[in-house]
Structure 1
Amino acid sequence: MAQTTPPTAFKAEQTFLAYNQAQAQAYAHGRPDYHANLYAAVLEHHTSTGGQLDTIIDLGCGPGNVARALAPHFRHAIGLDPSPGMVEAARAQGGVTGTSEGIRYEVCSAEDLGASLSPAVGAHSVDLITAANAAHWFDMDQFWASAARVLKPGGSVIVWTTGELRFHPSMPNAAKIQTTLDEMQDTELKPYFVPGNVLVRSRYEGLVLPWQLEKPVEEFPERGFVRREWDVGESFHDELPQVGMDRYESIVSTISPVTRWREAHPETVGTEEDYVRRCRRAIERLLQEAGVKKGEEKIKGAMQGVVLVVKRV
């Protein structure tokens, strides 16, 4: 018998919700996109289990990267995000479907899932729902009920997330760099973690699935569920093998606990006392300690990930 999870008080994510368009554009620049292999795997999981290619909804679409990557395979595409700033950034970049129809971007929560829009997202009108690094912010009780409403029989919910950015063992002094930054995170950044951040760190081990709810959503049976883990080197993210320290700063600056840390320490932003800048200096020092010349420091990330596939009957 599937384990059930009682409902807990839901607290909506506030950091990304408050982003303006400039912050959303910085987020888009700072975050590496997903690799073509990941997008191909998402489509294969969907179509090989009977999913059709008429309409896709990308939830927590942010600046629209995932919607733009997958829309060409569908006739209609919708990107939903509760942050007006994110939606403005997505609209600015546009994107089209396989029929040259523009992607529709709307301010809307995953829990509502288009019910309040005009025109609304109709019942049994959607083939695929995706959520990239976003499902950990959803009220899963409400989300699964809404997903059952809009998905066609045979449709798919496919969500994915990365774990933490780790340093590749091939980097000079990698073990010491990892230990140093782990200690900084545990002592300084951890107080700014919220439950969603913990879910990401576990690669969605605790994400509530529809058969685990106190009142299971019967349209999503456990049979057919797929959990696919992506390990280092399996092309989860589309990124260069090595990046410079400026790029490192831009990536780490998009992490929500860092945003919250900076909100609590506004006087440090842009100074050498900023958390991200101190992380950078620690890396540079340890790379130089290992013989890397000053000004030539680069990092190599070790990215992992997980993809969860849930089918509607």
Structure 2
Amino acid sequence: MATFAKKAFNASAYSSFRPTYPKKLFKEIFDYHRAGNGLWDVAADLGCGTGQATTELKGHFATVIGIDPSQPMIDAAQKKHKYGGLAFRQGRSEDLSNVLPSESVDLLISAQAGHWFNWELVWPEVSRVLRKDGTAAFWTYAEFRLSEFPSATPLITAYSQGKDPATSLGLYWERPGRTILENMLTDVPDPTSMETVMKRRGGLAHFERRYFAGPHFPAHLPSPSPTQIKRVEMRVNIRWRDLLGYFRTWSSLYNFHERFPEDLDKVDERFPEDKLAAPAGQDSVKDVSSDRIDVDVSGGDIAVRFWKDLREEVKRQGGKYGVDEIVSVEWPIALLLAKKV
């Protein structure tokens, strides 16, 4: 994904404000792997970023390797996990020949990266590097929701997917990757029907899709069978200022500001009380008495305007909207599981 590979991309901020993956998700994956008699020697994480999912494999596998095409991400992962017993290597998921030998991996995962893959190339590589009874588990989380305020969902969709450059980032995502994410990986082909996959020493014998989406599966997609739908597990209670920090990790926002740098100079006067809580002139400030990072909430760029739109809607609904008050945020997850024979 080109934006994350740029030297100017803030990998540390990405690491700080991206949501963490639920333990229940890893339990599902480990149970699937265990049921298929898979070994627990080597695991690898494709598109590992700063190692958020990679570290969850520790303690389950003797060797854990994170792989990412972006050198800034690899550098940030190595710094973050310097003493974590994890290995990080630069490499592309479409060609792992320089980082993973054939039939060398027992579990291959990918978290929030698969929507950027060329699956016609990735699935054969998955089949090549997995050992017999090895597992592939790839997932992505789709558009976030405010758990207690469904009335805010249209605002979120308009900002994320709309085409008005004054109010939306829809035109500034890299496509088709973002579309595949919005479609919850339903566009990813079934590898068991691909000849290039099946010729790899038996190929992938089993493939299934699971969705942690609750009753609100995206309306624009064909409804899966009830057995595929599980409750939402990826949910956090965070400060409103931290939600703004998450918005600032979006690659589309980075691309938008490259196109419209003057937007960073705009001012939004709504919620004047925010000025009392803002460390003005900084991207963020670390509270030395804790691990908390205080995001700068001043200014009026497109991310701040959207953030204030959401707060106005929550205020209208009688909810808490102060900078340091808590809001519940959730993300539906799509999980792909495959087994090597």
TM-score by length of 1: 0.83
The alpha-carbon deviation at position 137 of structure 1 amounts to: 1.1
Aligned residue for 1:73, secondary structure, equals coil
Partner residue of 1:265 out of 260, 264, 287: 260
Q: Give CA-to-partner distance per residue, 1:228-285, whole Å, 9 cap, x none.
A: 1112494533622xx2221111112222222222222222236444221111111222
Distance 2:37 2:88 in 1: 26
1:311 deviates by 1.0
Once the two structures are TM-superposed, the CA of residue 161 in structure 1 deviates from its matched residue by: 0.9
Equivalent in the alignment of 1:103? 86
Cα distance 1:293–1:205, how it changes in 2: closer, same or farther (>3 A)? closer
Q: Distance in 2 between matches of 1:46 and 1:225?
A: 13
Q: State whether residues 49 and 73 of structure 2, in contact with CA within 8 Å, keep that contact through their aligned partners in structure 1.
A: yes
Q: Determine which structure has greater relative contact order: mean sequence separation of CA pairs < 8 Å that are 6+ residues apart, divided by chain length.
A: 1
- Aligned partner (choices 1, 16, 32) of residue 4 of structure 2: 16
Q: Secondary structure at the match of 1:248?
A: helix
Distance 2:101 2:20 in 1: 30
1:88 aligns with 2:75: yes
Q: CA deviation at 1:144?
A: 1.9
Q: How does 1:1-313 map to 2 (within 5 A)?
A: 13-19=1-7, 23-94=10-81, 102-113=85-96, 115-117=97-99, 121-168=100-147, 170-171=148-149, 174-175=150-151, 177-185=152-160, 186-187=162-163, 188-193=168-173, 194-213=175-194, 215-219=196-200, 223-232=205-214, 234=231, 236-237=233-234, 239-240=236-237, 243-269=238-264, 271-272=266-267, 273-292=300-319, 295=322, 298-313=326-341
Q: Partners of 1:257 and 1:142 in 2: how far apart?
A: 26
**Aligned residues of 1:155 and 1:312 also touching (Cα < 8 A):** yes
C-alpha contact 2:127 2:204 (8 A) present in aligned 1: no
CA distance in 1, matches of 2:139, 2:82: 22
Closer, same or farther: CA 87–148 of 1 in aligned 2, 3 Å: same
Q: SS of the residue aligned with 1:267?
A: helix
Distance 2:61 2:259 in 1: 43
Aligned AA for 1:184? Answer: Y
Give SS of 1:281's match. helix
TM-score (norm: length of structure 2): 0.77
Question: Residue 300 of structure 1 aligns to which amino acid in structure 2?
Answer: S
Structure 2: how far apart are the matches of 1:158 and 1:178? 29
* Amino acid across the alignment from 1:191: L
Letter in 1 for 2:131: K
Q: Is the 8 A contact 1:33 1:238 kept in 2?
A: no
Root-mean-square deviation (Å): 2.4
Asked whether the 8 Å contact 1:38–1:235 carries over to 2, the reply is no
Give the counterpart letter for 1:226 in structure 2. Answer: E
- CA change 1:58–1:199 in 2 (3 A) is same
The answer to whether the 8 Å contact 1:72/1:96 transfers is no
Query: 1:115-155 CA distances to partner (integer Å, 9 max, x unpaired)?
Result: 224xxx22211111100011111121222222222111111
For 1:304 and 1:294, locate their aligned partners in 2 and report how far apart those are by CA, in whole Å: 23
Tell me, yes or no, if the aligned pair for 2:127 and 2:197 is still in contact at 8 Å: no
C-alpha distance in 1 between matches for 2:332 and 2:118: 25
SS in 2 for 1:53: coil
1:295–1:94 CA distance, 2 compared to 1 (3 A): closer
Secondary structure of 1:16's counterpart equals: helix
Q: Residue 311 and residue 247 in structure 1: after superposition, are their counterparts in 2 closer, same or farther (change >3 A)?
A: same
The one-letter code of the counterpart of 1:248 is L
Distance in 1, matches of 2:259 and 2:80, equals 32
Distance 1:64 1:130 in 2: 12
Consecutive unaligned residues of structure 1, counting only runs of 5 or more, are: 1-12
**Structure 1 counterpart SS, 2:4:** coil
Write the distance in 2 (CA, Å) between the matches of 1:74 and 1:293: 43
Structure 2 residues not aligned, in runs of 5+: 215-229, 268-299
